[in-house]
Amino acid sequence: TRNEPRFRIGVSQCSDDEWRHQMNNEMLREALFYDGVEVDIRTVKDDNVRQIEDIRNFIEEGVDLLVVAPNEAAPITPVVEEAYDRGIPVIVFDRKILSDKYTAYIGADNYEIGKAIGRYVVNMLQGQGNVVEISGLTGSTPAMDRHQGFVSAISPYPGIKLLASEDAGWLRSEAGQKMDTLLAHFPQIDVVYAQNDRMAAGAYAVARQKGRAGEMRFIGTDALSGEGYGVEQVLKGELDATFIYPTGGDRVIQMAMDILNKRGFPRETILSTSVVDATNAQIMQMQTTHIATLDGKIETLNGKMNHYLDRYATQQVVLYGSLLV
Ligand code: FRU
């Protein structure tokens, strides 16, 4: 019947933040389009041990497919391999593992994002200036790749100096603390490259508190819409630029259904990205607001449909009951 799932998809999220929430909503909404699919999302707060537990539980519960964003690559690799070896199809998304024992990968190319940001900075500084980097969790592949890409773009320009790169674990308050130290060490900083907008916000707040925000420009990544997030940070002038890091939750569920229904699928799906700065932030915000309205309508429609289906089901029972009398 309608209420028994044909497929159970287990999703293991490494972090709990707005980017993850948007992605989770996209997955749940996309799952509404398929019959008998249950999406079970479990989230940890940047904790390898607890994420390994979540994945092991999914394996033991016998999920039909596992979706995982590994917190740090090295510690999470073995348990993902274990799932794969037990015959559970695995979609790795956003962050990678250190093994090819997975069924498919979906995510943006973080090396290319770092490189695009590096080029943006070279342009902005016209080949001359001091940069500090506030890195995401250095054990996670987006942090490694964004750093490598960034360095590859700026290294041909000896006038651009990367003074320091500090690990702030993708977190706002840690970024603030690291920024405090960086400000104390370096009298001249021209650009702060924070590997996500949340850390950029933390770094900006501390620089402003110290009266130095005006001396430097801030660049982030993610470009989430909504109050207080990346696109708005650009509109407010706190960020010079950010880069879209697509959440792609709908794509993950589509891929899961292709795998479960034994249709063809690409092993690697690279989601595209783009810069958001003062030239396009306004239009980006208008479009995402519009899309959010449409998403809301889809959810309303689904709610109504379920309501009618339930009513139809009870009517049938009533009719059947009356025939028996
Ligand atoms: C969200 C997040 C993003 C970042 C991504 C990297 O949990 O921290 O801010 O771009 O993960 O994996």
ipTM of the complex: 0.97
- Name which of 44, 198, 213, 185 is nearest 134 in CA terms: 198
Q: Which region among 100-114, 120-134, 273-287, 308-322 has the lowest average model confidence (pLDDT)?
A: 308-322
The residues facing 91 across adjacent strands are 67, 104
**CA 171 to ligand 1 center in whole angstroms:** 9
Does 1 score more than 60 pLDDT? Answer: no
Q: Which residues line ligand 1 (CB under 6 A)?
A: 15, 17, 19-20, 94-95, 136, 140, 142, 170, 196, 198, 221-222, 245
Q: 3 pLDDT band (50/70/90 cuts)? A: low
pLDDT at 201: 98
Tell me the mean pLDDT in the region 234-244: 98
Banded model confidence at residue 295, pLDDT cuts 50, 70, 90 = confident
Counting from 1 in the atom list of ligand 1, the atom nearest the Cα of 170 is 8
Q: Are 135 and 168 in contact (CB under 8 A)?
A: yes
Residue 45 has pLDDT above 90, yes or no: yes
125: Cα separation from own chain's centroid: 29
Rounded to the nearest whole angstrom, what is the distance from the C-alpha of residue 151 to the centroid of ligand 1?
20
pLDDT beyond 70 at 24: yes
CA 1, CA 178: separation in Å to the nearest integer? 55
Confidence band of 135 (pLDDT split at 50, 70, 90): very high
Of 26, 47, 245, the one to substitute when testing ligand 1's pocket (max ligand atoms within 8 A of C-beta) is 245
Residue pointed to by tokens 């506030």: 134
Question: How much distance in Å is there from the Cα of 196 to the middle of ligand 1?
Answer: 7
Do 224 and 231 contact (CB within 8 A), yes or no?
Answer: yes
Other CB atoms closer than 10 Å to residue 298's CB: what's the count? Answer: 13
Q: Which two tokens stand for residue 192?
A: 């702060």
CA of 170 to the centre of ligand 1 (A): 7
What local confidence, expressed as pLDDT, does residue 316 receive? 74
Q: Say yes or no to pLDDT of 323 above 70.
A: no
Lowest mean pLDDT among 44-53, 75-84, 163-172, 297-306: 297-306
Side chain identity at residue 209, one-letter code: Q
Q: Is the pLDDT of residue 317 over 90?
A: no
Measured in Å, residue 235 CA sits from the centre of ligand 1 at 21
pLDDT at 324 over 80: no
Q: Which of 22-36, 61-75, 144-158, 203-217 has the lowest mean pLDDT?
A: 22-36
5: CB partners within 8 A, 6+ apart: 36, 37, 38
Average of per-residue pLDDT across 66-88: 98
Dihedral (Cα; 221, 48, 67, 265), 10-degree rounding = 70
Buried b (16+ CB within 10 A) or exposed e, 259-279: bbeeeebeeebebebebbbee
| Dmax (CA) of the chain | 90
What's the pLDDT at 312?
83
Ligand 1 center–CA 187 separation, angstroms: 30
Residue 305 pLDDT: 85
Q: Which atom of ligand 1 is nearest to the CA of 196?
A: 9
What span, in angstroms and rounded, lies between the C-alpha atoms of 158 and 162? 10
Q: Alpha-carbon distance 258 to 265, whole Å?
A: 6
How far, in whole angstroms, is CA 98 from its chain's centroid? 19
Q: How far is 150 from 119, CA to CA, in rounded Å?
A: 8
Residue 147: is its pLDDT beyond 70?
yes
Query: Does 81 have pLDDT greater than 60?
Result: yes
Confidence of residue 313 (pLDDT cuts 50, 70, 90): confident
Q: Whose CA is nearest to atom 7 of ligand 1?
A: 15
Specify the pLDDT at position 5: 76
- 133-137, 184-188, 251-255, 304-308: lowest mean pLDDT where? 304-308
CA distance 210 to 56: 46
Confidence of residue 314 (pLDDT cuts 50, 70, 90): confident
Mean pLDDT, range 251-279, rounded to an integer: 97
Q: Which atom of ligand 1 lies nearest, measured to the CA of 141?
A: 12
Lowest mean pLDDT among 30-34, 109-113, 120-124, 190-194: 30-34
Distance CA 95, CA 137 (A): 11
Mean pLDDT for the chain overall: 95
Model pLDDT, residue 264: 94
Name the pLDDT band for 258 (thresholds 50, 70, 90).
very high
Q: What are phi and psi of 201, to 5 degrees?
A: -65, -40
The upper half-sphere exposure of residue 272, i.e. CA atoms within 13 Å in the direction of its Cβ, equals 2
pLDDT of residue 78: 98
CB 190 within 8 A of CB 178: no
For strands 104-108 and 129-135, give the pairing: unpaired
Residues near 34 by Cβ (< 8 Å), separated by ≥ 6? 253, 257
Position in ligand 1 atom list of the atom nearest CA 198: 9
Ligand 1 centroid distance, CA of 6 (Å): 31
